[in-house]
Structure 1
């Protein structure tokens, strides 16, 4: 199987695993910031959003792992997605 086909399949299979934790991180972080800045919520009122955002609810042992996996997952999706996009552009130019 060609490398690009395998890369596309891996990209597609990893995407759902990466998307859920990233969406939780994005929505909790944005919600926290908007609640504080736009709606005048105190830190105590929205601290639970930071607990979700940072993965504190998983405990001190798993919190760094969640942060690391989020970062690695995002980098994986960006790098493989960019590689697939560049290859598509190359094919268009040569066709």
Structure 2
């Protein structure tokens, strides 16, 4: 089991830099769009640039779908692998006196 966790940790840390920027862009633009529309009083047209960034439209119609797919898969990978690493850490803590 240790070698599986070491492999998981290695892949988690290797993929993290590639997943970080697209996820940050998605989160910040999505939050900005919603908050500026609801609390800032901006119209849909005024906040449209944030939606373009959020959905990956800036990449063009073909790459937009790939961006969304990879962004979602990257998030799932980081959540699942990070969760597995966290559970293993908790198990070690509960076993230790």
TM-score interval, smaller chain = over 0.9
* Aligned-residue CA RMSD (Å): 1.2
In the alignment, which residue of structure 1 is the partner of 2:35? Answer: 34
In the alignment, which residue of structure 1 is the partner of 2:17? Answer: 16
TM score, norm. by length of structure 2: 0.92
TM score, norm. by length of structure 1: 0.94
Specify every segment of 5 or more residues in structure 2 that has no aligned partner in the other structure, as ranges. none
Looking at structure 1, the residues matched to 70 and 8 of structure 2 have their Cα atoms a distance apart, in angstroms, of 19
Looking at structure 1, the residues matched to 16 and 61 of structure 2 have their Cα atoms a distance apart, in angstroms, of 26
Between Structure 1 and Structure 2, how many residues are aligned? 95
In the TM superposition, 1:46-85 aligns within 5 A as: 46-85=47-86
> What's the offset of the Cα at 1:38?
0.9
